[in-house]
Structure 1
Amino acid sequence: MDAITYPENMVFGLDIGTRSIVGTVGYKQNEHDFIVVSQSVRYHETRAMLDGQIHDINKVAETIREVKKDLEKQLGKKLKEVCIAAAGRVLKTVTVKAEYNLINEGIISEEHIRTLELNGVEKAYEELRKEMNSGDGNFYCVGYSVVHYYLNDYVMTNLEDHKGSKIGVDLLATFLPEEVIEGLYAAVGKAGLEVVNLTLEPIAAINVAIPDKFRLLNIALIDVGAGTSDICITKDGSIIAYGMIPKAGDALTNILMQRYLVDFKTAETMKTSILKKKTVSYKDIMGLSNKVTREEIYEAVRDEIDHITAQIAEQILYLNGGKSVSAVFVVGGGGKLPYFVEALSSKLNLPKERVALRGEEVLNMVQFLQKEIKKDPLLVTPIGICLNYYENRNNFIYAMVNGERIKLYDNSHLTIVDAALAIGFPNELLFPRRGKALHYTINGSERLARGESGEGAIIILNGKQVSLNASITQNDIIQITESTAGADATLMVAKLPEYKSTITFAVNHKEVICPKYALANDILVSDTYQIKDGDRLELLNHYTLEQLLEFMDLPYRKGITINHQSAKPQDRVYENFTIYYPLHEDIAASYEEVAAMISEEDFKEYSLGEDALLKDDFLRDGISEEVDEKKVEKASSISVYVNKTSIILKGKDKFILVDILDVYPFDLSTAHGSKVVLKINGDEAEFTSPLNNQDVIEMYWEK
């Protein structure tokens, strides 16, 4: 072939399988079409690989070298860079849900989403480490898929530019053990090639077999190779699960070895020959020549196919939440035996037409320049490895983080956070930390006061300060200084949104304004009290009579009434209640005697501003209500309706709302609700509101 006729940016993909190594070289002609320039296949001479795992690095390297030389001869040019894939057998997947609270409710940015996803990856890695034993070695995250986003606990397809206080993600993270990656890199390196992209075989296959437009459906893809059957499931536009069973085509070959007493290579030839021939000739290890029909070979492997498909079906049900999928696509050589698809549909209780072998129909966008190559399910994964190169250019890079040299799997999106996770830098020390929160209750309702936010970690990349989401590349030098915590939460009673600073009472028809109090753990406190963590607070909407008298610096004496009801020191007094305080036990006492007993200083403490209780007014009002007989002589009567009951008030020239308590039974000695509701003719009123004839009054406790 004339290499000059081909583009320089061709991609070389290598499918390193259990039975064979397939090398493919091609290029993207446009957004959809892929041109395969050349392809070469070599089978392992020995069992250098088992179940997708390299056992003999040198033997595998030798086979890769043969494929490379063949392709170079076809192309007329040297190949230096290669894309590879790791088998599903060594793949570890972890599904987690992660959440991220925004410091202040605001617009969600790309940085917020990236932070959320990285929290999910770190959580997945922690879950993986819990599952693995200490001797299982290191694992690398080689990719993750977002299953669902959440905004304030509601499912969302895209979070960016939305407004909210909490975001979340269901995330499927995939990991590979270090020794598997090292083995693949070593074999490729010994063949004189450099890895520029590493993907997973299930991902490579699904990118070809199930286009994005089909992933809204609940579909399973089964890549039946030689040693493993890799499973990938899509739903709602995302890949939701990966899985694997360690059985595939080689298990069928082993059955034929035992049945017909042949070596592995002969048995493999017999298995593949029946796809084209009705009878197969072979020579067993005794040197005897034999013939066997296609039907006999089918019958020989039928039980093993039932066993393999039963395991695949069981794994699909497990990965899909206990339910069967809507359809199944099968790729890879191991699934080409006709009975395989039929058996799998039966195990999943799906119609036969819902389980199909995918090959030529999914390779429509692929053009092979080598005419002898036919489109086949075997080619889905090799083509997928090449196409993945255009999606993600993945490799390993080295960087220096806080003086430690680390190796990172380059998924083309590496950031400072990836480097921090690689050295075990705690995630919480990267982001601003709040001071300790304050937990307390108000009237039985739980509350939380957040601490102040600290400063984020300081990141120095190659001598310059950058953000956590700054990209990193080969040989970067990174210094991370941990974030700081803000001040602990503090809160006074006066700063509570529910707190009202004063409460007002009517004493002898004069307004008295008192400071409001609260209970903290059943102890009376003022508005300057600093709330402590775990406090039980109760905001009081009343005084006791004893507390009110103490505030006014007056002694308790007989004859005190609350809303015209005889009162005791521990009786509660609510907002706008009317209190009568007898000026002397002898109501006929002269003004001079009363004035001598209650000095001017008795009232200065509670007299406030323009509403001040002047001593003379207070005393005169008090005496006049008790001893002014002229007012009694001039008294009249009115008729009103209280809660639909007709009431007649007598004995005064003028009446106020509180007067109805003399004749209407309404219990104010014990609180039966949060407050007393008073209305006159439908309008809100107070106990001191004037009454007129035929007024309609409503009086009740509000619950």
Structure 2
Amino acid sequence: MAESRKSSDNRKSAESRKYPGQLVYGLDIGTRSIVGTVGYMYDKKFHVVAIESKPHETRAMQDGQIHDIAAVSESITEVTSRLQIKLGRPLHEVCIAAAGRVLRTVTVHVEQDLSETRDVTSEDIYSLELLGAQRAYERFIEQSTLNIKFYCVGYTVQRYYLDKYQMTDLLAHKGSNIGADVIATFLPDEVVDGLYKAVEMSGLHVADLTLEPIAAMEVAIPQSFRMLNLALVDVGAGTSDICITRDEAVVAYGMIPSAGDELTEVIAKHYLTDFEGAEQIKYACDAGKEFTYNDIMGVERKTTPGEVAEVVKDTVKIITREVSDQIKKLNGGKPVSAIFVVGGGGRIAGFTESLAEEMGIDATRVAVRGEDVLKNVDFKDKSLPEDSLLVTPIGICMNFFRQKNNFIFVSLNNVQYKLYDNSKLKIMDAAMQADIPNADLFPKRGAEINYTINGNKRVARGEMGEGAVIRLNGDSASLSAQIKAGDAIEVEPSTAGEPAHIRIDELPEYTDYIKLVVNGSELNVPKFAEVNGTLQSGYYDIQDGDEIIMRDYVLLPQLLEFIDLKAEKDTDILINNVVADNETKIYENFKIDLLIDDSPIETAAEPVSEEKEETAADDDAPEAAAHGENNAGGEGTSAAADAAVKEESGKAESNGAAPGAESNAATESGAATETAAADGSAPESGSDNKEEASGGSDPTAMNVTVNGELITLHGKTSYIFVDVFDYIDFDLSKPHGKMVVTKRNGMRAEYSEYLREGDRLDIYWEK
């Protein structure tokens, strides 16, 4: 084992001596060919250690868009295999660039306040840039009218600001506010997805994605040139990609879907050859040599560069006019000072001269950039000529180092996302970047019921559903699981629980009662519920928006029904010594005398004695009272109360008026009582239902402090950290920093951590 470890260390040491910098693999997946480059950055120069090229055998790509993913993947595999043989080592990750087909750009200004006046760090700068890219994406979504999903393929910082003053660079400067103007580029998702699929089918992972003109600019237009108003045109086979520089910044990107393939098609039609034969004629023309070819009839023929130039002259003029118009549009309607041309399509005879004419500038100010801009590149592998065809492949590699590899790509639900790598990335960060709503990550409550009871607002919350099902590389994981480049994440949205369900007999107020004295004996009569002006029984299911009033009085017919007594003609009923009728309201502690021929009627109520009154005064509402164990009427209490409800409801209907129309005049004594007295009269059926619904464990309230504010959690028997998001205004749907920090009593906390009474919680975005 020791020898094996020593051998491995020796190999690493040998590789370190051979390649003093990190090797990066860049792949230019062009419309006509694929160019792979492997190299490293050292001493401010890029060193190419291996390079390979392979033309597509079929028209697998057209206008920068992959049409045959499998064919392109095979070509990538072959190029990669050749490079691995040259290097003597495997390649696992690759940097790629997308052509600007259907390109869209958005420019935004963003600022960030630092916590104090201090030195600006590289992490501050990357956070600012990422914020700019995110803001640009948000604005793009707001402005887009296309029903197409777009992907941010890259961005460029036009200029930085320190405390509102423009700066070339922010690193190590001291300040309290930093800002940036960021131009972000977007392409349709199908363009990006095709590139990723082709790369992944070849067994590689994408380490970096950029735009072809951004990559070409890294090589063709150094920073010192960007103070000038210049245009860079990358004329490929399918698209001509454009970028504009001015005032030391890249100010615009654009493209036109016309390039070298249009020239090839004209040549094929004129010389009667297939597409591949026309490509060979075009390449020979670029080299300035006479060329012998066979047409489709098998006849051998010859052509010269001058003849080919004349054949494509009109098409060149059309393409250069489109390029010129696009440059002027991107440059505010004005011509630029000079144009650099890269890519194979721009090498055709007469292209630069025609472009200068269309732009209205001197012909010497339009030039093909190739070998001259590659002087700062050390080609250790010289198997390909150093010309403009290599500008973009080299730029793809150099862009990786400019980004300093501070971004990684992960897959979430089969879609690639680019994340700023702060070494602390979690699945939650990827979910935020993917715009997965917070509600789809955490368990959802079922529909709640909002109602009022005696004028006080109440909410019955639905049950909690299941949290999101999360898998990381096929294994179960949580939102707090850390992720790395190339990880595959799957998120199945959380589910909602059962909707809230509550009956009137489950309300604490319903277990209250009205205490009366009937014929000298104490009697507990249940309260009656009025819902939206209509009397309802305890079995009524409360609906959203219901207005419930627990009456603090009973009417005489309800009392008689409750004690199962029917008033006869010779029955006199006195309430507080006053003769009563059916509309008389009977409140707490009222005295009722039921007389037949001036003699009291016997009832089941308990006699009131001084000893009992003292005992009742000292009793603190034992639980038995809530179940009606001491109520007159025994098991028939609930049935009697329901019968009274039906009687009054029927009476109200016949009279055409809602019952309780005079309830506003009633006193509210006892309405706020939440626990029954010693001999309370809650119906047994209601009590049993409540016990079943709660499972024997009542919800409890818990007080915690969140970001300095006291919050009361309620409705559950226990609480975890994520529950506080139901009570605070904290937007998790869009990132406002690098990551969400959650602390409990000063220590880092997980979303699933249980809370205790008095906990101090902190939730904020880390800038």
Relative to the length of structure 2, the TM-score reads 0.51
Does 2:423 align with 1:410? no
Does 2:215 align with 1:211? no
Does 2:94 align with 1:85? no
Quote the Cα distance in structure 2 between the aligned partners of 1:13 and 1:155: 33
**Equivalent residue letter for 2:366:** V
Question: How does 1:592-671 map onto structure 2 within 5 Å?
Answer: none
2:62 aligned partner:
50
1:363 aligned partner:
374
Structure-2 change in CA distance of 1:482 and 1:344 (3 Å): farther
SS at match of 1:367: strand
Q: CA deviation at 1:78?
A: 2.1
Q: Deviations over 1:625-682 (max 9, x none)?
A: xxxxxxxxxxxxxxxxxxxxxxxxxxxxxxxxxxxxxxxxxxxxxxxxxxxxxxxxxx
Structure-2 change in CA distance of 1:462 and 1:129 (3 Å): closer
Q: CA deviation at 1:216?
A: 1.5
Quote the Cα distance in structure 2 between the aligned partners of 1:222 and 1:459: 36
CA-atom RMSD in angstroms: 4.2
**Equivalent residue letter for 1:409:** K
SS at match of 1:338: coil
Q: CA deviation at 1:11?
A: 1.9
Q: Percent identity?
A: 45
Quote the Cα distance in structure 2 between the aligned partners of 1:141 and 1:74: 31
Does 2:408 align with 1:395? yes
Contact 1:198–1:395, Cα closer than 8 Å, also in 2 = no
Q: CA deviation at 1:259?
A: 1.4
Contact 2:232–2:341, Cα closer than 8 Å, also in 1 = yes
Quote the Cα distance in structure 2 between the aligned partners of 1:66 and 1:112: 41
- Residue ranges of structure 2 left out of the alignment (5+ in a row): 1-10, 439-706, 708-728, 754-760
Of 63, 80, 96, 2:108 maps to: 96
Q: Deviations over 1:88-109 (max 9, x none)?
A: 2253211234578x79998997
Quote the Cα distance in structure 2 between the aligned partners of 1:478 and 1:281: 75
SS at match of 1:299: helix
2:344 aligned partner:
333
**Equivalent residue letter for 2:233:** I
1:143 aligned partner:
155
Contact 2:151–2:192, Cα closer than 8 Å, also in 1 = no
2:597 aligned partner:
none
SS at match of 2:147: helix
Of 189, 204, 209, 1:193 maps to: 204
2:26 aligned partner:
13
Does 2:244 align with 1:233? yes
**Equivalent residue letter for 2:90:** K
Quote the Cα distance in structure 1 between the aligned partners of 2:739 and 2:175: 31
Quote the Cα distance in structure 1 between the aligned partners of 2:156 and 2:147: 25
Instruction: Compare 296-305 and 270-279 and name the one that shifted more.
Output: 270-279
2:621 aligned partner:
none
Aligned residues: 443
Quote the Cα distance in structure 2 between the aligned partners of 1:91 and 1:214: 25
Contact 1:456–1:483, Cα closer than 8 Å, also in 2 = no
Q: Deviations over 1:136-167 (max 9, x none)?
A: 12423533423464966x76657864578xx8
1:26 aligned partner:
39
Contact 2:114–2:176, Cα closer than 8 Å, also in 1 = no
Q: CA deviation at 1:203?
A: 1.2
Quote the Cα distance in structure 2 between the aligned partners of 1:112 and 1:413: 11
Relative to the length of structure 1, the TM-score reads 0.56
SS at match of 2:155: strand
Structure-2 change in CA distance of 1:299 and 1:122 (3 Å): same
Of 376, 398, 412, 2:387 maps to: 376
Does 2:308 align with 1:297? yes
Structure-2 change in CA distance of 1:206 and 1:144 (3 Å): closer
2:73 aligned partner:
61
**Equivalent residue letter for 1:67:** V
Structure-2 change in CA distance of 1:208 and 1:465 (3 Å): farther
Structure-2 change in CA distance of 1:464 and 1:387 (3 Å): same
Of 232, 240, 243, 1:221 maps to: 232
Question: How does 1:437-456 map onto structure 2 within 5 Å?
Answer: none
2:699 aligned partner:
none
Q: Deviations over 1:385-431 (max 9, x none)?
A: 122222222431268xxxx99863135479898864542779xxxxx
Q: CA deviation at 1:121?
A: 3.7
Quote the Cα distance in structure 2 between the aligned partners of 1:295 and 1:74: 39
Q: Deviations over 1:28-79 (max 9, x none)?
A: 2x22222222211111111111111111110000111111122222223222
SS at match of 1:12: strand
Does 2:228 align with 1:181? no
2:277 aligned partner:
266
SS at match of 1:287: coil
Quote the Cα distance in structure 1 between the aligned partners of 2:88 and 2:110: 52
SS at match of 2:333: coil
1:586 aligned partner:
none
- Residue ranges of structure 1 left out of the alignment (5+ in a row): 427-431, 433-453, 471-475, 485-703
Quote the Cα distance in structure 1 between the aligned partners of 2:220 and 2:76: 26
Quote the Cα distance in structure 2 between the aligned partners of 1:270 and 1:140: 38
Quote the Cα distance in structure 1 between the aligned partners of 2:23 and 2:125: 35
Q: Deviations over 1:265-324 (max 9, x none)?
A: 001100110123442222222222222222111011011111111111111111111121
Does 2:259 align with 1:248? yes
Q: CA deviation at 1:372?
A: 4.2
Contact 1:462–1:478, Cα closer than 8 Å, also in 2 = no
SS at match of 1:271: helix
Contact 1:142–1:409, Cα closer than 8 Å, also in 2 = no
